[in-house]
Amino acid sequence: MLKGFEEFQKVGKDGFDATVRSFGEVNKGFQAIAAEITDYSKKAFEDGTRAFEQLIGAKTIEQAIEIQSQYAKKAYDNYITEVSKLGEMYVGLAKDAYKPVEVALSKKVA
């Protein structure tokens, strides 16, 4: 009976350790994602400011339309790239967060 209790206690400890490691991975992942979003936001703001300054200096309507078109295309391309990158980061976060749980489960099955 004592051996069964010790085994039960070990399984509980392994599960707790796996959960703590998993939360650590989630925390690291969210920090990386937050840093990425901050960098993207800063760059997008700078690009918007630069485009606005160019628009102020435009001499003709055609020139203003060209500046706006170039800015819109660049902003869209950057957005699509960023969304893809963030999607990959979220997938990586999920995989990294699940690894400790997967390892703990494989020990229980074996």
Instruction: Quote the pTM value.
Output: 0.74
d(CA 64, CA 53): 11
Asked whether residue 31 is domain-assigned, the answer is: yes
pLDDT at 6: 67
Q: Does residue 2 belong to any structural domain of this protein?
A: no
Residue type for position 46:
E
Where in the sequence is the domain holding 51, given as residue range(s)? 15-109
pLDDT digits (tens, 9 = 90+) for 2-41: 566 566 566 667 777 778 888 888 899 999 999 999 999 9
In a domain, 4, yes or no: no
Checking if the pLDDT of 1 tops 70, the result is: no
Does 9 reside within a domain? no
Query: Cβ(49)–Cβ(22) under 8 Å?
Result: no
The number of domains in the chain is 1
Q: Does residue 5 lie in a domain region? A: no
